[in-house]
Structure 1
Amino acid sequence: MPHPSAGPTRSLRRDAAPADVGGAGSRAPLRPPLTLLVGTGLAALVVTLLVAVTIGPADLAVGEVVRSVLAHVGLREADVPRLHDAIVWDLRLPRVLTAAAVGAGLAVAGAVMQSLTRNPLADPYLLGLSSGASLGAVAVLVLGVGLLLPVAAFAGALLALVATLALARTGGTLTPTRAVLAGLAVSQLAAAATSFVIFWTATGDSYREILSWLMGSLAGATWSSVTIAAGALVVVGTVVLLAAGRLDAFAFGDTAAAALGVDVERTRWAMMTLVALLTGAMVAVSGAIGFVGLVLPHAVSVVTGPAHRRLLPVAGLAGAVLLVWADTLARTVFDPRELPVGIVTALIGVPVFAVLLRRGRGGTWS
């Protein structure tokens, strides 16, 4: 398997094949209508959210969850026991909503990065964002000011982005290969700095807190986390979806995209910056959660095809559902102990990716 630093890769491609674009002598495969895919995804997400909130040590019913939510938004009188209402509104609902927003954001960011770099092994953390965010987060954790963790993580991700793009531009035009290599360099530097900070300053219980965050955790999710993650998803996701046609053009290479009227360098800069903002917001509230942004775009494209107008919304919904269930498993399987959700997504993502690899032999990924 090629390393991401190899730049554009011919293996595992989910780029548009002749069958996908309806070239001469080919027949476009039949795909489910987008409305059906989105409607099914929305229904699955609503059911997932309602059921996930009921799962935990306290025995809750779906009806209680619905009544609690309706009461808090002013649509009915509160008739849920106060303890159950607090569990729903203050503990579980912010967590599952944050998980949904983070899962959707990572899936969308992964799909965009794979298109911009023409690298099927790209994920949202390719530009060193995860390592930069980790450095910022660890710095405030060892200083004992955990309340500033989201701000520090987001700032670290943005600094990593600036360093990556500046390094990539030192050799001239920003290209996928330069961006990938610069991102790897910045990622390694930030990871080394993070390790040094932990080695030099972390003591006692701070090790466990730092490790949990580095492996991805939604345990500290609040309504502020929901606002950060959902706000970034709505704003950036809308802009990216409106640019779906330009993202499709990148599948055929920079020369072909330019011939189609796309300002390649400006579009790549703008899209990478947007993806960095989206990823930074997600990492700031959840830590680094792997495999969602790598696997989901490939898995969903089997159903949607490579067109981003179809791929992005369906990947977002699938990522939301996946991460909610992964986090539910993380917090309940070994109760009262809690696994970092990044462990669960890796355990799910590796087998799924292996299946996709096997199915892709000789197909649209070859």
Structure 2
Amino acid sequence: MTGRRTTVVYAALLTVLAIAITAGIGYGSVWVPPDVVWQVLTHRLTGLGDPNNWTITQDGIVWDLRLPRVLLAAMVGAGHAVVGVAAQALVRNPLADPFLLGISSGACVGAVASIVVGISFWGVTSHALAGVAGALITFLIVYLLAARGGSLSPTRLLLVGVVTGHALLGVANFLVLQADDPGKTNSSLFWLLGSLAGARWTDLGVPAAALSIGLAALLVRGRGLNALLVGDETANALGVPPGRLRRELFATTSLVTGVVVALSGSIYFVGLVVPHAVRLLLGSDHRRVLPAAAIAGAAFLVLVDLAARSVLAPQEVPVGVVTAVIGAPVFLLLMSRRRLSETGL
């Protein structure tokens, strides 16, 4: 992989992200032209520009209504993609993603339980905190069940995560059925299907911090992630203890997954499709793949959220439904191309 090609790929991904953000902010029940979008953002961030070039309504739509949602979509998409990269290295399985480790299901149970019980002392933040708590508790359960002799077997971790995840999804569905208020039922179902509606500026601090810490921690371990892909014996020979590294990766992925799922609900396939697509472009070096996956995941989910708002407007399709519809055929296509490339055809 040449440095020039890497630069071109990064530039292309950043361009797509900028276009996605512009479209996500501008499109809606009230159309805001792209030049106005960036004039408002520039003025808000730097104080430059003439406010007479746009209306107060446009200013409120861009800054207060749509930008928080677009930024949340970008961070959730980036979080899922980065965790997907780490999960696939963690269990040495290209089909792995955050949901197969059971952590996402735990976050859903925590969030749905808080909705059904009626915990709302901090509004939506209460549900998010309950989701994070559910993810961390699930992490401990899966870790204790999967750990044997002080080490984490990739196969055992994957199997325990899948079984635990399915069990917890059953618990979440049961909680939805027990809700005695149609409003709680609808909120719980929308959470299970994934939604970015109602995003506010106050919702962005926690996912931004979790994503920054998680991405930095994974980048520091980029060499170790590369070593895990070629097997535990090779990793040990290179001075990378696979057991300890897996524990660190599992904790990091649990934290990031818990935060993004708690704020957006179940959004499938981002952590599965995006890492594959990025590896096709950049190879397998995690020091290049991780940042690119974050950018690609952010752009992907911003565009998916735009589609969710647009397909049946003024109604909104759950984001998780759109990612599933798009992600399944795209993933099959990527797997087909990978198989062809491996056979030399």
Paired residue for 1:204?
182
Paired residue for 1:50?
22
Using the TM superposition, give the Cα deviation of residue 47 of structure 1 relative to its aligned residue in structure 2, in angstroms: 2.3
Taking only the aligned residue pairs, the percentage that are identical comes to 41
Match of 2:210 among 219, 232, 236: 232
Paired residue for 2:31?
59
Do residues 142 (structure 1) and 116 (structure 2) align?
Answer: yes
Match of 2:56 among 77, 82, 95: 82
Output one character per residue of 1:263-308: Cα deviation in whole Å (capped at 9) or x when no partner.
1111110011111111111111111100010111111111101111
Paired residue for 1:6?
none
Do residues 324 (structure 1) and 296 (structure 2) align?
Answer: no
Output one character per residue of 1:169-198: Cα deviation in whole Å (capped at 9) or x when no partner.
256521111211221232133222222222
**Larger % of helix: which?**
2
Paired residue for 1:23?
none
Do the aligned partners of 2:108 and 2:172 also contact (CA within 8 Å) in 1?
yes
Do the aligned partners of 1:218 and 1:341 also contact (CA within 8 Å) in 2?
yes
1-structure distance, mates of 2:342, 2:275? 14
2-structure distance, mates of 1:137, 1:294? 23
TM-score normalised over the length of structure 2: 0.92
Output one character per residue of 1:120-178: Cα deviation in whole Å (capped at 9) or x when no partner.
11001222111111111111111332531111111111111111101112565211112
Q: How does 1:226-265 map to 2 (within 5 A)?
A: 226-265=204-243
**Residue identity opposite 2:19 in structure 1:** V
Paired residue for 1:286?
264
Residues 161 and 202 of structure 1: CA distance in aligned 2, closer, same or farther (over 3 Å): farther
2-structure distance, mates of 1:162, 1:228? 21
2-structure distance, mates of 1:202, 1:321? 38
TM-score normalised over the length of structure 1: 0.87
Do residues 116 (structure 1) and 94 (structure 2) align?
Answer: no
Paired residue for 1:336?
314
- The number of residues matched between the two structures is 338
Do residues 312 (structure 1) and 290 (structure 2) align?
Answer: yes
Do residues 167 (structure 1) and 141 (structure 2) align?
Answer: no
Do the aligned partners of 1:32 and 1:304 also contact (CA within 8 Å) in 2?
no
Q: How does 1:3-18 map to 2 (within 5 A)?
A: none
Do the aligned partners of 1:31 and 1:305 also contact (CA within 8 Å) in 2?
no
1-structure distance, mates of 2:315, 2:29? 12
2-structure distance, mates of 1:362, 1:85? 50
Using the TM superposition, give the Cα deviation of residue 94 of structure 1 relative to its aligned residue in structure 2, in angstroms: 0.5
Do the aligned partners of 1:103 and 1:322 also contact (CA within 8 Å) in 2?
yes
Long gaps (5+) in structure 2: none
- Two-structure CA RMSD over aligned residues (Å): 1.9
